[in-house]
């Protein structure tokens, strides 16, 4: 074989460099064309962009804690924490600050660089936000990055979180605008966009992604990624969740998504948002090690680490550490690009 690149290889490389730019004007036909590329071409493209922007062998790890569990007034069809469904779950009030900090300390000792605190609220009360600010300050004092997800926020609450030193706010669009009302009826897509704008304008980093495997179409998946990429600024962190099917929730029994389509979704997210951390999020427990390895190749470079997500199981920490070892992956890179 000749050592010189062929014309085809040169034009492919040029094409990749040309697409490695930050854009906010993605169109459906372009994104559908990416999804439909031969798998190897898509992964080569996304991995090339990944390598241009990140250390390809480095994955950032965050740990999650549910600081207020269940009894939520919303009707999100995937969620075991909604009060409307009959999932096997014990509701718990907002945790004491000290307990949260103890849990963050443990996550730090196990190697997490960011601690994400989730609450099952439609929107918090101001006094709840005051307590969460104390949690943020305590976790930051341990030298960890902080992320919270509390539902919809007012301007004052957003400001209080920013002033309290919060690093990231997680608020997912979850799916396309068209499919949204099939899954959630108690709030609108615009409600989500409004909170995201407040968070962005306040200077807090944005963590925003979605869930696939909820019975949405190829177009819905493409439109979700377009919504995220066409925001005025790309979210610094983009969680891609595979639906965790929980007994008692309306989405239990949904036909599972082809794992290769999930990997394609990671690859397209990487191409559309070259500098964002793409997080391989919920659903890893149901994924093989080989599937996760392909997700890391396709451009995922962040995970939730620890034996539990919010209420459902995550792979055991020692399994993840062994997988990292087998793949030559190291953890780190806590900050955005
Ligand atoms: N209540 C707040 C909200 O909805 O924004 C914060 C907590 S909520 C549990 C955080 C995110 O978890 C949701 O936006 C959704 O994307 C994800 N999630 C919840 N249940 C899930 C499931 N069964 N499978 C995958 N992701 C899920
Ligand atoms: C995100 O996108 N996924 C995480 C985090 N952000 C808060 C939550 C996943 C929850 C999975 C279901 C559960 O454990 O309750
Ligand atoms: Fe409530 Fe959030 Fe679950 Fe929806 S996803 S039911 S808002 S906790």
- Cα–Cα distance, 106 to 110 (Å, whole number): 6
**Average pLDDT of the residues in 17-25:** 74
Ligand 3 center to 336 CA (angstroms): 26
Q: Give which of 307, 251, 253, 267 is closest to 284, Cα–Cα.
A: 307
Q: CB neighbours of 10 closer than 8 A, spacing ≥ 6?
A: none
Using DSSP, state whether 94 is helix, strand or coil: coil
- Residue tagged active-site, from 114, 270, 279, 284: 279
Give tens-digit pLDDT for 34-90: 999 999 999 999 999 999 999 999 999 999 999 999 999 999 999 999 999 999 999
- Segment (H or E) for 118: strand 114-119
Helices (H), the chain: 7-19, 28-36, 39-53, 97-109, 126-140, 155-163, 177-183, 189-202, 218-229, 259-272, 289-298, 317-327
Give tens-digit pLDDT for 174-215: 999 999 999 999 999 999 999 999 999 999 999 999 999 999
Q: What is the pLDDT of residue 21?
A: 84
- Residue 212, both tokens: 């696939």
- Cα–Cα distance, 215 to 212 (Å, whole number): 8
Atom of ligand 2 nearest to the CA of 313: 14
Ligand 1 center to 79 CA (angstroms): 6
Give tens-digit pLDDT for 113-165: 899 999 999 999 999 999 999 999 999 999 999 999 999 999 999 999 999 99
- Evaluate if residue 6 carries a pLDDT over 50: no
- Evaluate if residue 10 carries a pLDDT over 50: no
Using DSSP, state whether 305 is helix, strand or coil: coil
Active-site residue flag, 207: yes
Query: Quick one: which ligand is closest to 281's CA?
Result: 2
Atom of ligand 2 nearest to the CA of 81: 15
Q: What is the pLDDT of residue 3?
A: 44
- Cα–Cα distance, 181 to 185 (Å, whole number): 5
Give one DSSP letter per residue of 195-246, joined into a string: HHHHHHHHTPEEE--EEE-SS--HHHHHHHHHHHHTSSS--SEEEEEEP---
Active-site residue flag, 295: no
* Substitution candidate for ligand 1 out of 66, 79, 216 with most atoms within 8 A of CB: 79
Neighbour tally for 137: CB within 10 Å: 15
- Evaluate if residue 336 carries a pLDDT over 50: no
Give tens-digit pLDDT for 27-36: 999 999 999 9
Find the residues whose C-beta lies inside 6 A of ligand 3.
72, 74, 76, 79, 81-82, 120, 122, 151
* Substitution candidate for ligand 2 out of 240, 309, 312 with most atoms within 8 A of CB: 309
Q: What is the pLDDT of residue 110?
A: 87
Find the residues whose C-beta lies inside 6 A of ligand 1.
78-79, 81, 118, 120-121, 149, 151, 171-172, 174, 211, 241, 243-244, 246, 282, 310
Residue corresponding to tokens 């070259």: 274
- Cα–Cα distance, 48 to 64 (Å, whole number): 30
Q: What is the pLDDT of residue 259?
A: 98
pTM: predicted TM-score of the whole model, two decimal places = 0.93
Chain mean pLDDT for the chain: 92
Give one DSSP letter per residue of 4-48, joined into a string: SPPHHHHHHHHHHHHH-S--S---HHHHHHHHHS-HHHHHHHHHH
- Cα–Cα distance, 269 to 245 (Å, whole number): 23
Ligand 2 center to 82 CA (angstroms): 13
Nearest residue by C-alpha to atom 14 in ligand 1 = 172
Give tens-digit pLDDT for 270-301: 999 999 999 999 999 999 999 999 999 999 99
- Cα–Cα distance, 192 to 79 (Å, whole number): 17
Q: For 182, what's the count of Cα atoms within 13 Å in the CB-facing half-sphere?
A: 13
Q: What is the pLDDT of residue 100?
A: 97
> Which region holds residue 306: left if phi is over 0, alpha if psi is between -120 and 50, else beta?
left
Ligand 3 center to 321 CA (angstroms): 30
- Cα–Cα distance, 302 to 270 (Å, whole number): 12
Active-site residue flag, 208: no
Give tens-digit pLDDT for 214-252: 999 999 999 999 999 999 999 999 999 999 999 999 999
- Residue tagged active-site, from 76, 200, 208, 221: 76
Using DSSP, state whether 97 is helix, strand or coil: helix
Q: What is the pLDDT of residue 332?
A: 81
CA dihedral 217, 221, 227, 230 (to 10 degrees): -130
Q: Is 223 in the pocket of ligand 2 (CB under 6 A)?
A: no
**How far lies 284's CA from each of 58, 244, 317, in Å?**
18, 9, 12
Neighbour tally for 322: CB within 10 Å: 13
Longest CA–CA span in the chain (Å) reads 69
Ligand 1 center to 16 CA (angstroms): 34
* Substitution candidate for ligand 3 out of 122, 124, 152, 184 with most atoms within 8 A of CB: 122
**Residue, of 303 and 10, whose pLDDT is higher:** 303
- Residue tagged active-site, from 79, 208, 277, 295: 79
Q: What is the pLDDT of residue 245?
A: 97
Beta partners for residue 308, in sequence order: 313
């Amino acid at each position: 074989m000749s050592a010189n690149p062929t014309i085809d290889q040169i034009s492919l490389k040029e094409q990749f460099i040309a697409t490695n730019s930050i854009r906010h004007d993605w169109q459906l036909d372009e994104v559908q064309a990416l999804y439909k590329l031969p798998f190897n071409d898509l992964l080569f493209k996304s991995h090339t962009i990944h390598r241009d922007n990140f250390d390809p062998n480095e994955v950032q790890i965050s740990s999650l804690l549910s600081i207020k569990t269940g009894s939520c007034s919303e009707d999100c069809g995937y969620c075991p924490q909604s009060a409307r469904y009959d999932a096997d779950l014990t509701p718990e009030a907002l945790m004491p600050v000290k307990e949260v900090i103890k849990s963050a300390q443990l996550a730090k000792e196990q190697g997490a660089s960011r601690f994400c605190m989730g609450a099952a609220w439609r929107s918090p009360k101001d006094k709840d936000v005051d307590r969460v600010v104390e949690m943020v300050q305590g976790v930051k004092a341990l030298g960890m990055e902080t992320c919270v997800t509390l539902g919809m926020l007012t301007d004052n609450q957003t400001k209080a979180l920013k002033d309290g030193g919060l690093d990231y706010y997680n608020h997912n669009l979850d799916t396309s605008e068209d499919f949204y009302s099939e899954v959630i009826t108690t709030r609108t897509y615009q409600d989500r966009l409004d909170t995201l704008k407040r968070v962005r304008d306040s200077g807090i980093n944005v963590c925003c992604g979605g869930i696939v495997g909820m019975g949405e179409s190829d177009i819905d998946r493409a439109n979700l990624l377009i919504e995220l990429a066409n925001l005025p600024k790309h979210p610094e962190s983009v969680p891609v969740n595979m639906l965790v099917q929980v007994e008692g929730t309306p989405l239990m029994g949904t036909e599972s998504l082809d794992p290769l389509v999930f990997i394609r979704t990671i690859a397209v997210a990487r191409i559309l948002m070259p500098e964002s951390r793409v997080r391989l999020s919920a659903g890893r427990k149901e994924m093989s090690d080989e599937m996760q390895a392909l997700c890391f190749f396709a451009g995922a470079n962040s995970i939730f680490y620890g034996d539990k997500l919010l209420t459902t199981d995550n792979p055991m920490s020692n399994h993840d550490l062994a997988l990292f070892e087998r793949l030559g992956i190291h953890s780190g890179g806590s900050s955005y690009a």
